[in-house]
Amino acid sequence: MSIDVRPSTDAGKYLATDHLVWFGEVSDNDAEAMRLGLPEDQRFVADLPDGPEHLHAGIYGVRPMELALPGGALVPVAGLTWVGVHPDSRRQGVLSAMMRDHLARTRDAGTALSALHASEPGIYGRFGYGMAALHLQVSLGRGTTFTAPHLEEEARALTTQLVDMAAPGVTERMRACQLACASERPGTIVGSPGFFSLMAFEPAEALRDKEPRRVLFARRGGVDVGYVGLRREHKWEQARPSGTVTAGMVTGSPAARLALARRLVDVDLMGSTKLESIAVDDPLVDWVGGPRGTGELHTWDSTWVRLVDLGAAWSQRGYEHDCDVVVEVEDRHAPWNAGRWRLTASAGSGAAVRTDDAADVGLDVAVLGSGFLGHSIGGRLRAGLVREYRRGAYAELAGAMRTLVEPEPSIGF
């Protein structure tokens, strides 16, 4: 069956298809939200010869973003988003056609990596994406104590400032702060200025009885060194204030995070604080004495990474350990990656070259995506997801890709 995948030329039809796929409330402001976060030339559609009338068989979009890698590099990444298939067009190869189109376009644009947040985790592994970062959702009680003796002096030198996210210049401050901090936090994804504006875009019908988003900045000498977005929710129980502060991604140095965390658990009229996304080894968990020092703690997947151009991607990041391993790579949807590669890392730098030497390891490209930001992939051999032909070769490869700390989760896009 012929599936036509091409750039979108009808914004209204594109948006109407998205409304059907995601079946949310339709708003007059949806077109503005799409304009802010999704460039017109990064919207793509798929049509079937006998597909649905007046709508597309499928759509997808790409947000131009930057991804912080181990070693400190900040590189372009194609942020795959707005992926959807019309209910009448399911199981007809539409998603596969769109994914192949995305990978080919991304490679042609010279971008070596693609990333996404998975609506359903069972879908994207088969297209070569690996779960590259996890995140914790943590609840804390009012007045939670954070113990970090070697950060106290630095944290005391910081001030905090609460502002409206939609106020002039605030999203620009947020983006500048994240860019300044990204190299120290592999896994950080920095969106375009339009994407940051989208975070602050909250039409009245979306807010209703909610507080508009605020931003809490940590500052040193008048300079922003960290921030967190938040929203408060009123609640009273037995004549006592029991509201909840819901906080998003926390950005900044450990001392900035400490100052922000202390402010978050000491907000008037609030009884608890929910941090929606921190790394699985975030210092906050240590500051409260471990998982049982929290009210609730849940683990979820965050960023999924896809090596679009394996050779280029491997050399973009840094490595903490050496390796020299010949890997037989399976890649059904990006055949230019498939085959045998010698993957090396030496003195912090990596190289990937084609080879005819015997393979030491055999794996799907998604495994390399899972480990690309430094997340541990050592257990994949034990799980039967990797083949090892030379004893110890996979441990060598996984050890080279692993970083000292877990990668930073990324904001949903």
- Catalytic residue positions? 124, 413
**Are residues 216 and 226 in contact, defined by beta-carbon separation less than 8 angstroms?**
no
Question: For residue 5, what are its two tokens?
Answer: 């995948």
Distance of alpha carbon 103 from alpha carbon 112, whole angstroms: 9
Give 178-181 contacts, CB < 8 A, sequence gap 24+: 178/251, 179/66, 179/74, 180/225, 181/225, 181/226, 181/251, 181/252, 181/253
Q: What is the DSSP letter of 378?
A: G
Residue 277's Cβ-count burial label (10 Å; 0-12, 13-18, 19+) is: buried
Distance of alpha carbon 387 from alpha carbon 299, whole angstroms: 28
**Are residues 62 and 78 in contact, defined by beta-carbon separation less than 8 angstroms?**
yes
Nearest to 161 by CA among 200, 113, 216, 199: 216
Element (H, E) at 18: helix 11-22
Nearest to 177 by CA among 149, 137, 215: 215
Reduced 3-state DSSP string for 260-316: HHHHHCCCCCEEEEEEEEECCCCHHHHHCCCHHHCCEEEEEECCEEEECCHHHHHHH
